[in-house]
Amino acid sequence: MSLAGKTAIITGSNSGIGLGIARELARAGADVVLNSFTDRDEDHALAAEIGQQTGTKARYIKADMSDGDACRALIEQAGACDILVNNAGIQHVAPIDQFPADKWDAIIAINMNSAFHTTAAALPMMRKAGWGRVVNIASAHGLTASPFKAAYIAAKHGVVGMTKTVALETAQEPITCNAICPGYVLTPLVEAQIPNTMKEYNMSREDVVKNVLLERQPSKEFATVEQLGGTTIFLCSDAAAQITGTTISVDGGWTAL
Ligand code: NAD
C-alpha cells in the first residue's frame, strides 16, 4: 500500500515506538514529521536519514507535548496532517500516596492532553483534504491496570475514551480514529525500568525481563516497533476504512488473560 502524497505527524518520535512507526510510514511513501521536545543535531539527522533512505520528505519539528499551545503549533507548522500518530509518552512508577504531583501532571499532559490538542488542530486539515487517520498509541494499560502506575493508567484509559468520541464525531467522514494498545516493547522507556526492578527484586536482568516485565505477556516475547509500524499502516489502508473507535491490542495475548 502506498501512502505517497500523505503527510504523517508522529509525536514523540526521536526514539522507540514513534521512531519505528515513522520509519514504517516513510517506507510506505508518506512524508513524515518527527517530533520531540529537544532540538539537537541528531534529531534533525534522524529525519534526514529517513528521507534519504525512503526518498520521502522527512522533517523534524521541536515541540513540547506537555504544552497545549506547542502541540497545536506543531500541527500548524507542519502545514498538513493526513495521518496523526499520538505517541509521545513518559512513565513514572510509585504508590499513589507517594506519587509526586508534578509527575502526575506531566504524565496526564504528555500522554493524554497532547492528543486532545493535536487532534483538535489536525481534524480541520483532514476535513479539508477529505481523508484522515488518527492513530493513538495507548497501551495494554489503557485496558487493564497494574499497581504503581496510576497516572499512566489514567492517561491511557483517557486516550482510549477520547479515541471513541473522536471516532463518533468523524463517523460520517472519510476519517478514522483508533488506538493501538501495545504490551511491552523493548524501548528506552521500558529499558529504564529494568535497573530499578533488578535492585528491588534482587534479580538478574534476564529474570526481570521474563518474570516481571513479561509476566503478563503470555507470548513471553516483546512486541516490536516494526510490528506497531505495520499495525499503523494497516489502519491507514483502505481495508481499515470502516475500523474506527476501536482498540487493537499488540500484546502477545496479555489482554486475553
Ligand atoms: P520512548 O521513551 O522510547 O519514547 C517516548 C518518546 O516521547 C520519545 O521520542 C521522547 O522524546 C518523547 N517525549 C517525551 N516527552 C515528550 C515531550 N514533553 N514532548 C515531546 N515528546 C516527548 O518510549 P516508547 O516506549 O517508545 O513509548 C512511546 C509510546 O508508546 C508512549 O506513549 C508509551 O506510553 C507507549 N507504550 C509503550 C510501551 C512499551 O512497552 N515500550 C507499551 C505500551 C505503550
pLDDT of amino acid 173: 98
Residue 23's contacts (CB-CB under 8 Å, 6 or more residues apart) are 50, 225, 229
CATH number at residue 97: 3.40.50.720
CB 240 within 8 A of CB 246: no
Are residues 250 and 160 both part of a single domain? yes
Based on the fold, state whether residues 105 and 137 are members of the same structural domain.
yes
Per the rule left: phi > 0, alpha: psi between -120 and 50, beta: everything else, 69 is alpha
> 197 C-alpha vs ligand 1 centroid, how far in Å?
19
Together in a domain, 64 and 106: yes
Collapsing DSSP to helix, strand or coil, 163 comes out as: helix
Return the pLDDT at 174: 98
DSSP 178-214: EEEEE--B-SHHHHTTHHHHHHHHT--HHHIIIIIGG
CA of 172 to the centre of ligand 1 (A): 31
Q: In what order do the strands lie in the sheet with 132-137?
A: 58-62, 31-36, 7-10, 83-86, 132-137, 175-182, 247-250
pLDDT in tens, 37-59: 999 999 999 999 999 999 999 99
Q: Whose CA is nearest to atom 36 of ligand 1?
A: 139
pLDDT digits (tens, 9 = 90+) for 177-211: 999 999 999 999 899 989 999 999 999 999 999 99
Model pLDDT, residue 160? 99
Low-confidence residues of the chain: pLDDT under 70: none
Are 126 and 248 within one domain? Answer: yes
3-class state of residue 75 by DSSP: helix
DSSP tag of 83: E
- Report the domain count for the chain: 2
Residue 233 within any structural domain of the chain: yes
Tell me what pLDDT residue 241 has.
98
Q: Are residues 98 and 34 in the same domain?
A: yes
Closest ligand 1 atom to the C-alpha of 222? Answer: 40
Instruction: Give pLDDT, residue 102.
Output: 98
For residue 157 the three cell numbers come to 484509559
- Whether residue 211 is contained in a domain is answered as yes
> Per the domain annotation, does 2 fall within a domain?
no
Residue 29 within any structural domain of the chain: yes
Best mutation site among 10, 14, 15, 32 for ligand 1 pocket (most ligand atoms within 8 Å of CB):
15
Give 255 Cα–ligand 1 centroid separation in angstroms: 21
Confidence (pLDDT) at 165: 99
Q: Please indicate, yes or no, if residue 55 is contained in any of the structural domains.
A: yes
User: Is residue 82 located within the same domain as residue 29?
Assistant: yes
For residue 13, which atom of ligand 1 is closest to its CA? 9
In a domain, residue 207? The reply is yes
Kindly state whether residues 61 and 92 are assigned to the same domain: yes
Range of the domain at 217: 186-222
Q: Is residue 65 assigned to a domain?
A: yes
Q: Give the span between the Cα atoms of 12 and 225, in whole angstroms.
A: 14
Q: Model pTM?
A: 0.97
The pLDDT score that the predictor gives to residue 193 is: 87
